[in-house]
Chain A
Amino acid sequence: GAGVSQTPSNKVTEKGKYVELRCDPISGHTALYWYRQSLGQGPEFLIYFQGTGAADDSGLPNDRFFAVRPEGSVSTLKIQRTERGDSAVYLCASSSGTGGNEQYFGPGTRLTVT
């Protein structure tokens, strides 16, 4: 079946603008994760959803970042008042549930803030 998909694949925005990044998890996967990956580094955890609720949002860097998953499937990561330091690849992953299950990653959205 289809894997995790993310749109857009690339996003260039000006400093101060608002952006939305979308993630479509694997059908039936209840767990969804957002990560941020800067060049040469490992993914950095941002937020984890179990169903519709954010079970852990401790990785969100500040209140400019927000994520939703209203129907327990598609998730949107929202960044307000973007800053150049927000430039990174934003990765989404999904898994079938808790318990150390394999996380399947999407291709990522490369965000560039100019």
Chain B
Amino acid sequence: GENVEQHPSTLSVQEGDSAVIKCTYSDSASNYFPWYKQELGKRPQLIIDIRSNVGEKKDQRIAVTLNKTAKHFSLHITETQPEDSAVYFCAASKSNYQLIWGAGTKLIIKP
């Protein structure tokens, strides 16, 4: 079955700098890749997603890139702010419903 690996497990960046989180997946049939943000004690919330027919997608300070050949996708956050501090999860799906999740990246924004 599908396996999703996420790195790093913890990422600390200076406020204003960029943050990059990377994920790899194993099943080449996966075609939907969402990213969720989860603040401490709260529910996961979708921040951006990408489908396999697109290589890059941007939404303000957030972008996601997908390399189908290498089977990896990345989340890019520019001009980081304190409110970006959270745990970020990538996920992959080929069935359009069963999401296989990465283990998460704890992003710490240093003032």
Instruction: Report A's interface with B, CB cutoff 8 A.
Output: 31, 33, 40-45, 48, 50, 55-56, 59, 91, 95, 98-103, 105-108
Identify the closest chain B residue to A99 (Cβ): B96
With A100-B32, A102-B34: A55-B43 Cβ-Cβ less than 8 Å = no
Residue pair B99, A103 in contact (C-beta under 8 Å): yes
B residues within 8 A CB of A33?
Answer: 97
| A91 touching B44, Cβ below 8 Å | yes
1/0 per residue, CB under 8 A from A, across B86-111: the answer is: 00010101011111111110000000
- Distance in Å from the Cβ of A10 to the closest Cβ of chain B? 12
Q: How far is the CB of A112 from chain B (nearest CB, A)?
A: 15
Bitwise, B43-60 to A at CB < 8 A (1) or not (0) is 111100101000000000
Q: Is the CB of B46 within 8 A of A103?
A: yes
Q: Which residues of B have CB within 8 Å of A43?
A: 44, 89, 99, 101
Q: Let me know if B89 and A42 touch, CB within 8 A.
A: yes
B97-A31 in contact (CB<8A): yes
In the complex, chain B residues whose CB is within 8 Å of the CB of A98 = 96-97
Contacts of B46 in A (CB 8 A): 102-103
Q: Residue on A with the closest CB to B93?
A: A100
Q: Give the shortest distance, in Å, between A111 (CB) and chain B (any CB).
A: 15
Given A40-B104, A91-B43, A102-B46 in contact, is the A45-B98 Cβ separation under 8 Å?
Answer: yes
A100 and B51 contact, CB distance less than 8 A: yes
- Asked if B42 is an interface residue, CB under 8 A from chain A, the answer is yes
Chain A residues whose CB sits within 8 angstroms of the CB of B97 once the complex forms: 31, 33, 48, 50, 55-56, 95, 98
Among A33, A43, A44, A95: residue with most chain B CB under 10 A:
A43
Q: Is the CB of A44 within 8 A of B101?
A: yes
